[in-house]
Structure 1
Amino acid sequence: MESKKEMTLEEFKEWLIQFDDDGDKRISRDELRDALQTLGEWFTSWKSKQGLESADFNCNGVIDENELNYLVVFAKQTLDFNIVMYD
């Protein structure tokens, strides 16, 4: 099965920041849910909860720049993203 979306890490960040409704440069569960909905994902409330839990290491309820790599891992494993990282 092919990946839904192939992009670089920078493209992933740019795509995700589109859903930062309050402009705080952090992604909340609701913002992540909105992003997943644009991909046609099913169970977006559950997946956004799982994504937040897997990436929010400081438990403040949002994913910030320092936690983004954990969200990348979640996106690769759970959402069938192919995020390529170039040196």
Structure 2
Amino acid sequence: MTFYLFTSVKKEMTVEEFKTWLKQYDADGDGRISRDELRTAIRSLGMCFTAWKSRRGVRIADVNHNGFIDDSEIEHLVEFAKKKLGMKIVPY
């Protein structure tokens, strides 16, 4: 089952499931999520996600300001997804 179906049926995922789902969109395999990779991931859920929103999501989550979201910053992206995208992401 893909995460698209999972989120469509259950409408929620855990933080670990969110991380696993997001990592499949790390197109260049560098262990970080760029704004284009983030846009592709969110669009895979059937959501309208513009370039502006993806820049904002990365800017909010990117604590070290390097233009990417890495593992240490994923919690900030979780908060963005919950507040701005309406995704239900639970701790466990």
Check whether TM > 0.5. yes
**What number of residue pairs does the alignment pair up?**
84
- AA aligned to 1:10 is E
RMSD: 1.5
Equivalent residues of 1:75, 1:81 under 8 A apart:
yes
The offset of 1:43, in angstroms, is: 3.8
Unmatched 5+ residue regions in structure 1?
Answer: none
- 1:17-56 alignment runs, 5 A limit: 17-56=23-62
Structure 1 equivalent of residue 19 of structure 2: 13
1:43 & 1:36 partners in 2: Cα distance?
6
Gaps of 5+ in 2: 1-6
What TM-score results when the alignment is normalised by the length of structure 2? Answer: 0.84
Name the structure with the higher strand share. Answer: 1
SS state at 2:27 partner: coil
> Following superposition, which runs of at least 4 residues in structure 1 exceed 4 angstroms of deviation?
none
Relative CO higher for 1 or 2, CA cutoff 8 Å, sep ≥ 6?
A: 1
